Structure formats: C-alpha cells, structure tokens
Amino acid sequence: MNLPAFSVCVYCGSRNGNLPDYANVARQVGTWIGQHNGQLVYGGGNNGLMGIVAQATADAGGLVVGIIPKALQTIENTRTACTELHVVDTMHERKHMMAERADVFLALPGGIGTFEEFFEVWTWRQLGYHDKPIGLLNTRGYYDGLLQFVNNSVSQGFLNDWQMDLILSGTEPASLLQELVQAAGFAPEPQLAGL
C-alpha cells in the first residue's frame, strides 16, 4: 500500500442531518481523499456523516485512521474496518491525536461535537499551537448563521480580521480540499487508475 500523500482530519456530524446533500458532500469528501492518495483522520465511528466519509474514503482506496475514546465505542458504533484504529482513554487524548495526525482540518455540517472540535483547532491556531489550514464546508448554507455570528464578533471588536483569515469556508468539497491541502504545502494529484 502506498504511503498517504497527506492527512485530512474531518470533523462532522454523528447524524446524517435532514437534507440528502449532507450525506452527498460527506461521500464527496471521502472520495476526494481516497482518489488523491490521502488519509482520513477522524473520530472512528460508523454513525452519521462520520461513517459515510470513512466508507467513501476506503471505497476510493484511501487510508482511514479512526481515533475513539474507550467509553464511546458502543455509542459511536466503532468502525472496526479502519486501516488504523486507536482506542484511547479520554476525549482529550482523541482530539490531541487527531490534531497531531492531521495536515489540514475540515469541518462538515454537524452538531455540538463538530462545533467544539472546529473552534478548538481554530483557537489553537490563533494561539500558534499549530499552523495547519482549517476549512469549513458550508453545505446548503448550513454554517451561514455561524459565519454571520463570528463576523458580528469582528464588528463588535472581539475578533480581528486576521483571525477570520485563519479559516477557509466554501461550498464545493473538491475545491475547498484542494485549497486546504495546497495551503499545507502539498500538490494533490488524482491517482490514475491502473498505474
């Protein structure tokens, strides 16, 4: 098996959400990662968009690194088929390992777990704990309200433009992934079938 060219840490919902487009973009993200010889780093579960992105990565020939806290194995329905599965003791350990193993971060639509993870890597970046690109996939305007809220924080003097510049938002999975991976210094090329 080839060594992966880069690692994408994906944060996303443990549910599917109400619109079929959420599952569609999760599939597109996983497919893009696999087709570009990338590696997915994620929470290690089979539920919701998390399971869809992992399955799509594997189906497209990509490596899947799942990192799940011991206590969440049942509730999050561990994906035992991960290329690498790490069962860790705590949520902090999970998040730390996910961040360490990533070259870039991408948040898809999700719930409070996704929000928390996205904000955590954003705050870590503003503090200089890492310098990895961070993306927000705004499928069907799911994150419009959040972006409006943080832009309001800029207007109100609690955030600066340079902090906003630390995140990239977009609606097209392939172009956003390409932008993130290039910003991390990689030049992703699609794998040619059969070569």
Binding site for ligand AMP (CB under 6 A): 13-15, 43, 45, 72, 76, 91, 110-114, 116-117
Residue 1: CB minimum distance to ligand AMP, A: 26
Q: Which is nearer to ligand AMP, 94 or 125 (CB)?
A: 94
Half-sphere exposure of 27 (CA within 13 A, CB side): 6
Residue 10: CB minimum distance to ligand AMP, A: 10
**Number of residues that this document lists for the chain:** 195
Q: Which is nearer to ligand AMP, 87 or 91 (CB)?
A: 91
Residue 115: CB minimum distance to ligand AMP, A: 7
Contact 16, 111 (CB under 8 A): no
Q: Which is nearer to ligand AMP, 37 or 122 (CB)?
A: 122
Residue 74: CB minimum distance to ligand AMP, A: 12
Residue 29: CB minimum distance to ligand AMP, A: 15
Q: Which is nearer to ligand AMP, 14 or 28 (CB)?
A: 14
- DSSP secondary structure string, the chain? -PPPSEEEEEE--SS--SSHHHHHHHHHHHHHHHHTTEEEEE--B-SHHHHHHHHHHHHTT-EEEEEEEGGGTTTTTB-TT-SEEEEES-HHHHHHHHHHH-SEEEE-S--HHHHHHHHHHHHHHHTTS----EEEE-GGGTTHHHHHHHHHHHHTTSS-HHHHTTEEEES-HHHHHHHHHHHTT----PPPTT-
Residue 94: CB minimum distance to ligand AMP, A: 7
What are the tokens at 89? Answer: 């003791």
Q: Which residue is nearest to ligand AMP (CB)?
A: 113
Q: Which is nearer to ligand AMP, 35 or 142 (CB)?
A: 142
Q: Which is nearer to ligand AMP, 76 or 103 (CB)?
A: 76
